[in-house]
Amino acid sequence: MSAAPAGRLAVVGIGPGAAELVTPQAAAALSEAEALYGYGPYLDRVPARPGQVRMPSDNREERARADAALTEAASGRSVALVSGGDPGVFAMAAAVCEAIEAGPEAFRRVDLLVVPGVTAMLAVAARIGAPLGHDFCAINLSDNLKPWTLVEARLDAAATAGFVIALYNPASKARPWQLGAAFERLRGHLVPDVPVVFGHAVSRPDERVEIVRLGEADAARADMATLVLVGTAETRVVDRPGLPPLVYTPRFAREAAR
């Protein structure tokens, strides 16, 4: 007979920012937990509950945060690990799985629940229409955990294949140049009038959404709170009198060039 789980760890996606975009499942998991772990600004978005312990940490301490949450869960407690957006998209769920694989046997006995959330590319896409209406991909521009040459190869492949591209983590104070380099690389494959959407802090009070063309896209418009969508030759921008334009990618596509 296998051993019973020592405790429970819920890795919870809290969406892009607005409280109404937190799913009922996520809200319940957060409320039921005895202890909350997470990046400080994400924990600040979770309503406080009497008696619940909060353990904030820095943004670049993902593995240490996963180890700490698993250690507490392995002791028999109910723990929630907070993740922005969806925990499985460039976020904490993978860090937890890595920690379980590499960690002590006690980690494997923890009852693990991954609670999905609204990821940034879906929130931004919903604001402007349906840019992800046809095939798309997501690329993390951070080279903290992979070489930049690999990012370049994936940008080339995605643009050549005709994917709409969602660019996560486009810029930070420590990485101010990657988005500009990505735009230059994409301009080698895509026509200048391909739509580019900058979605900053969507669903939060400082939300800002801008639509430009690839030929005019300025990396200075983005920061770590920005999600960038790069369209394809099929992606349309529909002007509407007195209303924001719509951006969508039709569900059909021309046959790829041979």
pLDDT tens string 79-90: 999 999 999 999
Which of 198, 205, 201 minimizes the C-alpha distance to 225?
201
Structure tokens, 218: 């300025």
Q: What is the reported pLDDT for 175?
A: 84
For residue 128, report the phi and psi dihedrals to the nearest 5 degrees: -115, 0
Indicate the residue type of 71: T
Closest CA to 45 of 84, 10, 91: 84
All domains in the chain, ordered by first residue:
8-118 (3.40.1010.10), 121-248 (3.30.950.10)
| Residues in the chain, pLDDT under 50 | 256-258
Based on DSSP, count helices (H) and strands (E) in the chain, helices before strands: 8, 13
**Assigned token pair, 141:** 């521009």
DSSP 3-state assignment of 41?
helix
Q: Cα(36)–Cα(206) distance, rounded to whole angstroms?
A: 26
- Among 254, 218, 217, which Cα is nearest to 235's? 254
**Tokens, residue 13:** 């996606």
Instruction: Evaluate whether 11 touches 112 at the Cβ level (below 8 Å).
Output: yes
Alpha-carbon span 73 to 52, nearest angstrom: 14
Q: Give the pLDDT confidence score for residue 258 in this predicted structure.
A: 35
Rounded CA separation 221/199 (Å): 10
Strand pairing report for 78-83 and 164-168: unpaired
